[in-house]
Amino acid sequence: METSGSFGNTRRKRRKRLHLYLIDDDYNTVDYVIDCLHNVLPMCNVLTAEQIAMIVHNVGQAQIYSGFGNDVYIKYAQLQKLGLNVDIKTK
């Protein structure tokens, strides 16, 4: 009797990392964007939020958060509710 070590196809799907981008708009002030980023994102202090806001203002968009699954969607929904223009992308 010969066994191959696997009992069927038990291959797991690989989860994709999701990236949350903040996109520049003409509606929100820089101070409001800084306040929103500071309140919603866990790793973002006031200085980091200010730097992100300046990058978004000059470049047009910046990656602000990345992760797997529901966590990214929760941050997306919170920032959308505050009126910021955000987008989710996979690289």
pTM: 0.81
List, for residues 23-52, the tens digit of each pLDDT value: 999 899 999 999 999 999 988 999 999 999
Average pLDDT of the chain to the nearest whole number: 89
Residue 78 is predicted with a pLDDT of 96
| pLDDT at residue 11, rounded to an integer | 75
Q: Burial-class residue 40 by CB neighbours within 10 Å (0-12, 13-18, 19+).
A: buried
Q: Model confidence over 45-80: pLDDT tens digits? A: 999 999 999 999 999 999 999 998 899 999 999 999
